[in-house]
């Protein structure tokens, strides 16, 4: 398996955690999102992923894109340990938590969106940072309410073992910390984040430990 990846990308980070939880080895292929005008726009990479986004996972010729689709694929083809609960309602809850990060928070602050704000809409750095914090802080507040109000929340988002929800939560918190977003209003989120980082699969997937880390 070969993972096309950028150390700081939250979506890449998600897939690294999933691969580590499954105990799968892979070749790390760095794609630098800022160098060379963005290596994700190179013709060779776009032929593999027209979206020009990382991560891409090549599983022996099966080329997969979109982090959540990749993780569901890994869970179907390498079922142990499972990354989704056994029951349909639990799976729906875990997916909803994951999608709250993947659809409601992350898309609003990825690199190309922040670039559009600066370069096309000419907003100030202060306005751009306020935009970032608005979507991250309100999105995490939603996540906090979803977690704090539900008895299925345990050491992790759903019970005591990591699922797709934790795999999305932890990279989002790394991103929030990097941009200095407020986090004192989401104690359940942070408790889970800190617990996950005690687990080797999460700890060794952090951006700073990747081959392309700067």
Site string (73-92) toward its own copies, x via CB under 8 A? x--xx----------xx-xx
Query: Which one of 21-29, 114-122, 166-174, 176-184 is the stretch in contact with its own copies (CB under 8 A)?
Result: 114-122
Here the tokens at position 5 are: 């990846």
- Which residue among 35, 134, 180, 204 contacts its own copies (CB under 8 A)? 134
Asked if 172 and 105 count as a contact pair (C-beta separation under 8 A), the reply is: yes
Q: For its own copies, which is the closer residue by CB, 104 or 212?
A: 104
Is 167 a residue that touches its own copies (CB under 8 A)? no
- Alpha carbons 7 and 24: distance in angstroms, whole number: 18
> On the CB side of 5, how many CA atoms lie within 13 Å of its CA?
27
* DSSP code at position 184: T
Residues 6+ apart with CB under 8 A from 37: none
Is 95 a residue that touches its own copies (CB under 8 A)? yes
- Alpha carbons 145 and 118: distance in angstroms, whole number: 32
CB of 11 to its own copies, least distance (A): 9
The residue count for binding its own copies (CB under 8 A) is 44
Is 187 a residue that touches its own copies (CB under 8 A)? no
The footprint of its own copies on residues 46-75 (CB under 8 A) is: 50-53, 62, 64-66, 68-70, 72-73
The DSSP string of 5-73 is E-TT-HHHHHHHHHHHHTT---EEEE--SSGGG-GGGSHHHHHH-TT--S-EEEETTEEEESHHHHHHH
Q: For its own copies, which is the closer residue by CB, 117 or 170?
A: 117
Task: Give me the count of residues in the chain.
Answer: 214
Q: For its own copies, which is the closer residue by CB, 16 or 93?
A: 93
CB of 133 to its own copies, least distance (A): 12
Distances (CA, A) of 182 to 123, 138, 165, 189, 207: 21, 10, 21, 12, 21
CB of 49 to its own copies, least distance (A): 9
> Strand 56-59 relative to strand 27-30: parallel, antiparallel, unpaired?
unpaired
CB of 214 to its own copies, least distance (A): 26
Residues making contact with its own copies (CB under 8 A) = 50-53, 62, 64-66, 68-70, 72-73, 76-77, 88-89, 91-93, 95-96, 99-100, 102-104, 106-108, 113, 116-117, 120-121, 123, 127, 130-131, 134, 142, 145-146, 149
């Amino acid at each position: 398996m070969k993972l096309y990846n950028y150390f700081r990308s939250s979506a890449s980070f998600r897939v690294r955690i999933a691969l580590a939880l499954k105990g799968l080895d892979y070749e790390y292929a760095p794609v630098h999102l800022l160098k060379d005008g963005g290596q994700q726009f190179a013709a060779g990479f776009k032929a593999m992923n027209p979206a020009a986004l990382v991560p891409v996972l090549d599983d022996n010729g099966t080329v997969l894109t979109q982090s959540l689709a990749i993780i569901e694929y890994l869970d179907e083809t390498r079922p142990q340990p499972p990354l989704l609960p056994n029951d349909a309602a639990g799976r729906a809850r875990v997916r909803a938590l994951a999608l709250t990060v993947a659809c409601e928070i992350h898309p609003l602050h990825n690199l190309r969106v922040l670039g559009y704000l600066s370069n096309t809409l000419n907003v100030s750095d202060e306005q751009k940072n306020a935009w970032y914090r608005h979507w991250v802080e309100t999105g995490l507040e939603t996540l906090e309410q979803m977690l704090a109000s539900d008895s299925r929340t345990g050491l992790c988002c759903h019970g005591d073992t990591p699922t797709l929800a934790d795999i999305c939560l932890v990279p989002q918190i790394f991103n929030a910390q990097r941009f200095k977003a407020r986090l004192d209003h989401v104690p359940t989120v942070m408790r889970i984040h800190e617990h996950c980082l005690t687990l080797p699969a999460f700890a060794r997937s952090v951006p700073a430990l990747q081959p392309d880390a700067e």
